[in-house]
Amino acid sequence: MAELSERTPATPEKPVERYDAIVIGAGVSGLFQLVRLLELGFSVRLFEAGGGVGGTWYWNRYPGARFDSESYTYGYSFSHELLQEWDWKEHFSGQPENERYLNYVADKFNLRPHIQLNATVVAARYDESGNYWEVRLEDGSRARARFLITAVGILSAHNIPPFEGVESFAGESFHTSRWPQEPIDFAGKRVGVIGTGATAVQLITEIAKEVGHLTVFQRTPNYCAPLRNRPIDAETQAKIKASYPEIFKRTRETFAGFIHEFDPRSVFDVTPEARQAKFEELWAQPGFSKWLGNFRDIMSNPDANELFAEFVRGKIRERVKNPAVAEKLAPKDHRFGTKRVPLESGYYEQFNRDNVLLVDIRESPIERITPRGVKTKDAEYEFDIIIYATGFDAVTGPLNRIDIRGAGGLSLKEKWADGPRTYLGIQSAGFPNLLTLVGPHNGATFCNMPRCIEQNVEWVTDCLKYMREKGYERIAATAEAEEAWTNHANELAVGTLMSETPSWFFGANIEGKKRGVLMYLGGAKAYREKCDAVAANGYEGFKFD
Ligand code: N01
C-alpha cells in the first residue's frame, strides 16, 4: 500500500497513528478480516469496544447462550488445520466454549498484537483530499487509514426500551448483552425478565431453576422449537472432521447457509397424514430443521403456514399444564417463521414451575420501572434483579451509533434516516473506502453468520488485492448501483409473510426507527453469485481512482 499522502499532525499528547486499514470489531468477521489483511501485508489496527475478543460471544454471556447453528457449520472453514485441531464438545455449542474458540483463533493466527481492546470508536471521518479515514475513540485518541472496514455485527447495539424510571430501580439490572463478567448468584432472588425473544427463551430456561421467583413479562409470544442439543462423542467427532468438505459444500448451496434446506414440495402435495408425519419428523430433528427444512410454501403461503403454526401451538398446549398460560404462550398474532424461531431446551416446562409467573403485557402494559420493580397497569412487581432481554437496534444500529462522515461531511446516519441505502450491503455511495462487512441488505444478514461472513471477507480481500494490482487507492459505490441494489433488496421483501410481522428484521422493534427491510431476503447463494459476478465484471457498480 502506498503511504498516506498527507503528513499526519500529532497532538502534544498522543500522535495520530496511521495504518493501511482500520477494522472495527473483534467478532467473527473482524478477526477473519484481520487474518486476511495481514496476509496481504497491510498494516492494520483493529479497535474493539469490549475487554476481550469474540464479539457476540464476548458480550452475550448470559446463562444459556448458545449456537442455534450446528457447531461444525459455525466454525471458520478457511483453515484446514484449525478445523482439525478444534473439537466442538456439543452439537450446539454454548457461549463459554464459543468465546474460547474465538480466543484460540486470535492466538493461533497471532492477531492480538494488532488488536486494541476497550477501544470504542465513536466517530469516523473521511478526508477527501488526503483520501483517508480518521477514527476517533472514546478516550479522544485518533488513528488514520486508507481503508475503514466495519465488522460491528448486526446485533451489537443493545436496546433498553425507554421505560420511564429505568434509572430509579434500586436493585441490580442489566441487558442480556451487557452481562456482568462475574457469575450472578440467583439463589433466593426475585427476578424479572422483560422480553421473550430467542435470548430470553435461552436465559429463562437456565435461570428458572436457580431463582427464588421469576416473573416473565411477555409482549409477543414466539413459536419456539426444540433445539435437541447433545454432546459430540469421539466417533461423531471423527466423522465430522472427515466430512468438513461436504458440510461446507452443502452450506454453500442452501438458502441461508445452514445445513437445512427447504423441502421443494408444497404442504398440499401430500396427504394430511403424510404431512402430519413430516411435521413430527421435523420436530424430532435438531436445530432449524422445523423452519428451514420445512415444506417450501410454509414461508410464502398463509394457509400452508397456518398448518404448521397450529402444529406448534398444539405442542405448546401439550407441554404447558395450565391451559390459560398455554394460550398466552401460543402465538396467534403473527405467522410461524416470520421472526427468528427461538430454539429451546425445556422453555415451556418452566411455566409449569411454582416459582415462575407469566405476565402478559399486552393485557397489562408496563407503565414504568419503579425503585422496587416493575409497575404494570394492574400491579407492581417487586424484584432484586431486572433483566432486559429486549433485543437490539439491529443492523443499522451499530453503524449509526458511530458518527460516520463521508465525502463532504455527509452523515451516514442522516443518509439512512429513511432506511439504509447500500450497494451489496458493502458500501454506501458517498463513503469511499468504507467497507461494511455484514452491512444492511447484505446477504450475511439472513444467514448462518460465519458462512456468509467468510464470503464477505474473501470478497473484500480480493477487491483490495485487485485495487493494489491496478494501482487504485479509492473505491466508491456509484449512486446508480446503490439505487438498483436498494430497490432490489426492498422489492424482495414486498408481499412476503415476513414483511407483515413487526420484528427487528424490519426495524420495527425500535421506537421511531423507519420501518423497512434491513436484511437481504434473496438467499445467501444468490447473494454470493451476485457478488462473484460483480467482481468478474471488473467490480461493476464501483468507481476506482
Ligand atoms: O431480541 P428480540 P433477542 N416492551 O428483539 C421485547 C439472535 N439470537 O435478544 O416481540 C416490552 O428477538 C420484545 O417483544 P416484541 C437471533 O437472531 C441468537 O431475544 O417486540 N417488551 C421481545 O420479546 C435473535 O432474533 C441466538 O413484542 C419489549 C424481546 O423484548 C436476535 O438475536 C440466541 C419492548 C426482544 O426480542 C435477537 O434476539 C439469542 C418493550 N418496549 C439471540 N421492546 C442464538 O441461538 C422489546 N421487547 C445464536
Kindly give the distance from the C-alpha atom of residue 222 to the centroid of ligand 1, in angstroms, as a whole number. 10
pLDDT at 14: 72
The pLDDT of residue 119 is 98
Task: Report whether pLDDT(191) > 50.
Answer: yes
The rounded Cα 118 to chain-centroid distance in angstroms is 21
Extract the C-alpha cell encoding 443: 446477504
DSSP 437-473: TT-TT-GGGGS-HHHHHHHHHHHHHHHHHHHHHHT--
* Closest ligand 1 atom number to CA of residue 511: 41
The pLDDT, as a whole number, for residue 137 is: 97
Euclidean distance between CA atoms 468 and 474, whole angstroms: 10
Which triple of cell numbers denotes residue 514? 423507519
Atom of ligand 1 nearest to the CA of 177: 9
Q: Which triple of cell numbers denotes residue 387?
A: 433483566
Given pLDDT bands bounded at 50, 70 and 90, which one contains residue 12?
A: low
Report the separation in Å between the CA atom of 194 and the middle of ligand 1, taken as the mean of its atom positions: 10
Closest CA to 166 of 390, 361, 355: 390
The pLDDT confidence band at residue 13, using thresholds 50, 70 and 90, is low
**Cβ-contact 146, 131 below 8 angstroms:** yes
The amino acid at residue 68 is D
pLDDT digits (tens, 9 = 90+) for 369-422: 999 999 999 999 999 999 999 999 999 999 999 999 999 999 999 999 999 999
527-532 long-range Cβ contacts below 8 angstroms, 24+ apart: 527/424, 527/442, 527/443, 527/444, 527/452, 527/455, 528/252, 528/443, 528/452, 528/455, 530/424, 531/424, 531/443, 531/455, 531/459
The predicted pLDDT at position 1 comes to 43
Q: How far apart are CA 260 and CA 263, in angstroms?
A: 9
Confidence bin at 9 (pLDDT 50/70/90):
very low
Closest atom of ligand 1 relative to the 391 alpha carbon: 1
Please name the helix (run of DSSP H) or strand (run of DSSP E) that holds residue 244, with its range, or none.
helix 234-253
Whole-number Å distance, alpha carbon 157 to ligand 1 midpoint, is: 13
pLDDT in tens, 196-225: 999 999 999 999 999 999 999 999 999 999
Q: CA–CA separation, 396 vs 419, rounded Å?
A: 9
Bridge pairing between strands 385-388 and 190-194:
parallel
Give 184's DSSP letter.
P
pLDDT digits (tens, 9 = 90+) for 165-188: 999 999 999 999 999 999 999 999
CA–CA gap between residue 252 and residue 528 (Å, rounded):
9
User: Please, what are the domains in the chain?
Assistant: 17-53+111-157+394-540 (3.50.50.60), 225-388 (no CATH)
Read off the pLDDT of residues 408-422 as tens digits, 9 standing for 90 and up.
999 999 999 999 999
pLDDT in tens, 59-94: 999 999 999 999 999 999 999 999 999 999 999 999
Quick one: which of 485, 544, 494, 484 has its CA closest to 517? 494
Percent of the chain with pLDDT over 70: 98
76 by DSSP, 3-state: which? coil
In three-state secondary structure terms, 490 is: helix
**Which residue's C-alpha comes closest to atom 39 of ligand 1?**
199
Provide the grid cell at 145: 487509514
Ligand 1 centroid distance, CA of 258 (Å): 21
Q: How confident is the model at residue 334 (pLDDT cuts 50, 70, 90)?
A: very high
- Which burial class, exposed, middle or buried, applies to 241 when counting CB atoms under 10 A from its CB (0-12, 13-18, 19+)? middle
User: What DSSP element (H or E) covers 327?
Assistant: helix 323-329
Question: Which cell goes with 420?
Answer: 439504509
Mean pLDDT of 28-46: 98
Q: How far is the CA of 297 from the centre of ligand 1 (A)?
A: 25
Q: Are 24 and 152 in contact (CB under 8 A)?
A: yes
Give the distance between the most distant pair of CA atoms in the chain. Answer: 78
Residues 284-310: what's their mean pLDDT?
97
* Among protein residues, the one whose CA lies closest to atom 41 of ligand 1: 161
Pocket of ligand 1 (CB under 6 A): 66-68, 155, 161, 194-200, 202, 219-220, 340, 361, 389-392, 504, 509
What is the predicted pLDDT for the residue at 197?
A: 98
